[in-house]
Structure 1
Amino acid sequence: MKLAEHTLRDQDSTVRSAQSIEAGHLAKLVDLGIALSAEQDANALNQRILQAARDLTNADGGTLYLLDEEERELQFRIMANDTLGRYVDAGDPQQYPLPPVPLYLADGSPNHQNVASYVALTGETINIIDAYAADGFDFSGTRRFDAATGYRSQSFLAVPLKSARGRVLGVLQLINARQIDGGVIPFDPQIEPLITALTSQSAVALENRRLMQSQRDLIDSFVRILAQGIDAKSPHTGAHCERVPVLAKMLAQAAVDQQNGPFATFSLSDQEWYELELAAWLHDIGKIVTPEHVVEKATKLETIHNRIHEIRTRFEVLLRDAEIDMLRRQLAGEDEAICKADFEARRNELREQFDLVAQSNIGSENQDLATIARIHDIAGQIWQRNFDRTIGLSWAESNRIDDDEAAILSQPGPETLLSDRQDHVYDQLNNGEVYNLSVPRGTLTPEERTIINDHVVLTQNMLEQLPFPSGLRNVPAIAGNHHEKLDGSGYPRGLLGTAMGTLEKIMVIADIFEALTAIDRPYKKPKKLSECIAILGKMRDEGKIDSDLFDLFLNSGAYRQYGETYLRPDLCDVVDLGRYVGRG
């Protein structure tokens, strides 16, 4: 009776111990599942999977392979071995990763010789007591490894990583299960369901990670296509949308790397880096709807084409009228010399007037009030139109002429040399010839400049409509505030520096410096590096850009690194940093 009771107590103790071990494993498995689902970093996820499996089985080593996208081979990801003190990560370029394992032989037949490839192809778990005594698999590579390292590979457990849909995503290969004293033993078959549960959770985590990465890759590609489309739309922007992200990340990295100074505590998480990159690529997205003829306006009279050619023709008409008048006067008996002198004077006058109009059209120099008044005087000259001006027009052009005006314009009549007509005003633009030629500086009218500037408003409006996740909520602000200035003189919101974050201030400098250094803008000559820094330095002195970031931009050498990559060698001259650093 006592022996029976003792036996029952022993059995009960064994059951409770087994239940305790199982409960401990299950609790650990639940914790691992939560951790795996929360892990965003791919390398860290691979490490967790391998380490968790080794912990559960007390394996001396292990290797993780993942299937490639074409599902033709297993690609090495990570390996660890305690006895050899070896850790190899495929993501580390300093280490030599293991070669991929092909799933198919040269003749196209399945590769069942290798344990890992067999498991990937069949989805079965393989538990080998001793690799040297195993039949059916080629362990010659394992033997060579052992011979080179003095290691003894013995027990193997190869488990497929299956998704919820049964798709094999990779293979987890464990080696040499150990007793508490370190002796090598076979892998316990009772632990296989637990490892299978772990690999299933791992496969789900990997598949989710792949889906998230695929979505991110799609978003990134879409963003870059939009940016490249904006750059291709106008030679005035060149590769601006591609270069600003480069500059922004250079300056942000310099801030992260600073050990002492105003950015000593500045850091960016992976999500914040991604936020900056997206914002930099999208900062000019509003230009996608900016009228091309406004963005491309290289002369004051340009709309879809440069209207200076029409005006030149009118001058030609006036010159021919003068010549005809001279000939008529001669036929009427007037003195030929006087008639020719009058004609020459008129020809010289018209040439001088057209030269003034043509020079004004370029807009390369500031125009004073006297020149503008002269243009208005020139505009009032009359020439005779003989053809109907209401025919051959598009519906939109005809719609801009009312019936009373159409009745007049359909008959021959006098017209001024330059005019600001009613039909010149449409779509928030005033294309009047006198109005455009009177622009005192540059080529853009106030309305056109507003349209150009509104690309920032459009950028903000477009981005604010996108459902950015919580980690990317600052993208609209970072992208949309790149034309703000710290003194409140920027647009569209007139923000002060106190209302802007560091990444927004970085974007301001990146946008300005790219525009200054661009060598492919058709409206300006390329500037030397020193000239660009001088302009930035003046903006710093005026309180328009962040002084600390400007100093960092210079001290870190980011300005020169960028210049040597994107500027011609003859433009990368020496910059006297002493003129600028620490003088804000």
Structure 2
Amino acid sequence: MDAFPDKAQARRQPAVDILMQKVAQGIESYVGQEMAGVPPEVVAGLADRVVREVREFSEGQGNHLYELVKIGLGLSSEKNIDRLLERIVREARHFTNADGGTLYIKDDARQALDFAIVQNDSLGVCMGGSGEAISWPPVPLRHENNGENHWNVSAHCALAGEPINISDVYDAEGYDFQGTRDFDASTGYRSRSMLVIPLRDHEDEVIGVLQLLNAKDRETGAVVPFPEHEVGMVMSLASQAAIALTKMRLVRGLENLLDAFVRTIGDAIDEKSPYTAGHVYRVANLTEEIALEVNRATAGRFASVSFSADELAEIRMAAWLHDVGKITTPEHLMDKATKLETIFDRIELIRHRVEISRLHDAFVRLENEPCSRTEGRTAPLPPPKEEEWQEIINFLDMINLGGEGLPAESIEKVRRLAGITYAMSGVEFPLLAPDEVENLCVQKGTLTAAERKVMNH
């Protein structure tokens, strides 16, 4: 970039020379017609002076255009909104050699201009952005009676959407500068020249106001009015600033929208099952804390590791989405509290089978054994398998709950129980179906290998 000014100068020189030649020719033609008898050396001196001043003006304008290009590139590359706002004011002040500058951001909801940045070299003021917080109240765009506030110069600029160039605010008519006078009285400052420029977005809506104060002569340092030929340049700068600010707002809005969408998905996953409620939120917070702790590390394995702001955002989003597949996971898997649970807990089916077997055994005994009667009463029949059936159902109840480890002997016992049958309407049925055996033999938790694969998908 250092060589760029020389190249620009080289490209600009032919145009300047052509312009100078035309000016010189015009002066010679005019002098020849209107200044006959004037000594030639006077005419030549006049022509040289005009040519020199026009050349200086042209080159100055060219330099201004080049500065605008550099400012535009700088503004478009800035990613931090606080630094962007500060840079807008700083570059505008540098461009016009202004002593102070204020940037207002329009709040459409409250119909007011909020102070965003305040800078003043003479007073050593640097407020807003990354500097000291601004506690000044916003500038209302409307009065309490809903009438437009045209007394305040910044509010008028925002409402009218036109630049305002004032040579001396103390002599200006049509605006209330009492607040400026009070500020000067309390600080010993003297506000004089002021240039107020609206910032327009891509839809030509005013989104803010740039106010520059006390332009200084670059040679003498005296406060002078803002030159009219610089107003257009400053408006161009303000346009670039508005575009950069709008772009950053749009990007931030999209980021916030995506972040809200991702958090909504995470919240929906947490709400889907009472057994995993809060899991996504906890993982996201813990992951972010770990990443920040890595950034703070100054010694050890992670001393050389540092995550950028973009990388931290990616880590945070990944943490929020780590369980996104559970959106399509069936609820009976998400909520599977026992090994035999599907839509309902199938341990109840096994209970019914056991009960059927017990009743069947009792019926067979009643059929095959004679009844003994005592004093007209039937003697009670002993339940030879009652304790065995109860032990079976107690065992199945216990292992159905799942846990951290199922012993091998329990798995073997389940497989032995699978060989027990019960009869119904003359048909033999297994006490445990094959898929029930598979579920009851899960060694850790309640999910089978196939179900866990679905959960982790």
Fold similarity call, TM over 0.5: yes
Q: Structure 2 CA distance, aligned partners of 1:167 and 1:366?
A: 67
Structure 1 position 222, deviation (Å): 1.0
Q: Does 1:134 align with 2:134?
A: no
Q: Verify the 8 A CA contact 2:83 2:130 in the aligned structure 1.
A: no
Q: Structure 2 CA distance, aligned partners of 1:440 and 1:17?
A: 88
1:57 maps to what in 2? Answer: 96
Q: Structure 2 CA distance, aligned partners of 1:365 and 1:28?
A: 70
Q: Does 1:232 align with 2:274?
A: no
Secondary structure at the aligned position of 1:157 is classed as strand
1:76 maps to what in 2? Answer: 115
Structure 1 position 324, deviation (Å): 3.1
Q: Verify the 8 A CA contact 1:89 1:97 in the aligned structure 2.
A: no
Instruction: Select which of 296, 299, 313 maps to 2:338.
Output: 299
1:523 maps to what in 2? Answer: none
Q: Structure 2 CA distance, aligned partners of 1:292 and 1:262?
A: 42
Q: Structure 2 CA distance, aligned partners of 1:372 and 1:5?
A: 114
Instruction: Select which of 228, 231, 238 maps to 1:189.
Output: 228
1:405 maps to what in 2? Answer: none
2:430 maps to what in 1? Answer: 416
Identity level (%): 39
TM-score w.r.t. the length of structure 2 is 0.85
Listed as ranges, the matches of 1:276-355 within 5 Å are 276-329=315-368, 332-333=370-371, 340=380, 342-343=382-383, 345-355=384-394
Structure 1 position 238, deviation (Å): 1.9
Spell out structure 1 runs of 4+ moving beyond 4 A: 334-341
Instruction: Select which of 176, 196, 200 maps to 1:162.
Output: 200
- Residues 138-184 of structure 1: CA deviation (Å, up to 9, x unaligned): 21221222222221112111100112432111100011111233321
- Residues 530-564 of structure 1: CA deviation (Å, up to 9, x unaligned): xxxxxxxxxxxxxxxxxxxxxxxxxxxxxxxxxxx
1:43 maps to what in 2? Answer: 82
Q: Does 1:451 align with 2:454?
A: yes
Q: Does 1:438 align with 2:452?
A: no
Count of residues paired in the alignment: 415
Q: Structure 2 CA distance, aligned partners of 1:91 and 1:296?
A: 49
- Residues 468-515 of structure 1: CA deviation (Å, up to 9, x unaligned): xxxxxxxxxxxxxxxxxxxxxxxxxxxxxxxxxxxxxxxxxxxxxxxx
Q: Structure 2 CA distance, aligned partners of 1:244 and 1:378?
A: 42
1:376 maps to what in 2? Answer: 415
Q: 1:238 to 1:199 in 2, by over 3 A?
A: same
1:5 maps to what in 2? Answer: 44
Listed as ranges, the matches of 1:168-567 within 5 Å are 168-180=206-218, 181-329=220-368, 332-333=370-371, 340=380, 342-343=382-383, 345-364=384-403, 366-385=405-424, 413-420=427-434, 432-453=435-456, 455=457
Structure 1 position 255, deviation (Å): 1.9
Secondary structure at the aligned position of 1:131 is classed as coil
Structure 1 position 340, deviation (Å): 4.5
Amino acid at match of 2:357: L
1:96 maps to what in 2? Answer: 134
Amino acid at match of 2:431: L
Q: Verify the 8 A CA contact 1:88 1:97 in the aligned structure 2.
A: no
Q: Verify the 8 A CA contact 2:184 2:191 in the aligned structure 1.
A: yes
Secondary structure at the aligned position of 2:197 is classed as strand
Q: Verify the 8 A CA contact 2:421 2:429 in the aligned structure 1.
A: yes
2:157 maps to what in 1? Answer: 119
Secondary structure at the aligned position of 2:211 is classed as strand
Q: Verify the 8 A CA contact 2:418 2:433 in the aligned structure 1.
A: yes
- Residues 185-227 of structure 1: CA deviation (Å, up to 9, x unaligned): 1111111000011011111111111111111111111111111
Structure 1 position 91, deviation (Å): 5.6
Amino acid at match of 2:385: R
Q: Structure 2 CA distance, aligned partners of 1:268 and 1:213?
A: 20
Q: Structure 2 CA distance, aligned partners of 1:322 and 1:334?
A: 19
Secondary structure at the aligned position of 1:309 is classed as helix
Q: 1:205 to 1:90 in 2, by over 3 A?
A: closer
Q: 1:370 to 1:255 in 2, by over 3 A?
A: closer
- Residues 224-279 of structure 1: CA deviation (Å, up to 9, x unaligned): 11111111112232222222222222222222222233333322222222222222
Structure 1 position 5, deviation (Å): 0.5
- Which structure has the larger Rg over C-alpha atoms? 2
TM-score w.r.t. the length of structure 1 is 0.67
Q: Tell me how large the CA RMSD over aligned residues is.
A: 2.3
- Residues 363-419 of structure 1: CA deviation (Å, up to 9, x unaligned): 226333332232233333333445xxxxxxxxxxxxxxxxxxxxxxxxx73322222
Q: Does 1:144 align with 2:182?
A: yes
1:17 maps to what in 2? Answer: 56
Q: Structure 1 CA distance, aligned partners of 2:373 and 2:295?
A: 86
Secondary structure at the aligned position of 2:170 is classed as helix
Unaligned runs of 5+ in 2: 1-39
Structure 1 position 126, deviation (Å): 0.9
Q: Structure 2 CA distance, aligned partners of 1:366 and 1:124?
A: 77
Q: Structure 2 CA distance, aligned partners of 1:199 and 1:373?
A: 81
2:19 maps to what in 1? Answer: none
Structure 1 position 341, deviation (Å): 5.6
2:15 maps to what in 1? Answer: none
1:545 maps to what in 2? Answer: none
Q: 1:147 to 1:163 in 2, by over 3 A?
A: same
Q: Verify the 8 A CA contact 1:298 1:443 in the aligned structure 2.
A: yes
Q: Structure 2 CA distance, aligned partners of 1:447 and 1:164?
A: 55
Q: Structure 1 CA distance, aligned partners of 2:396 and 2:61?
A: 92
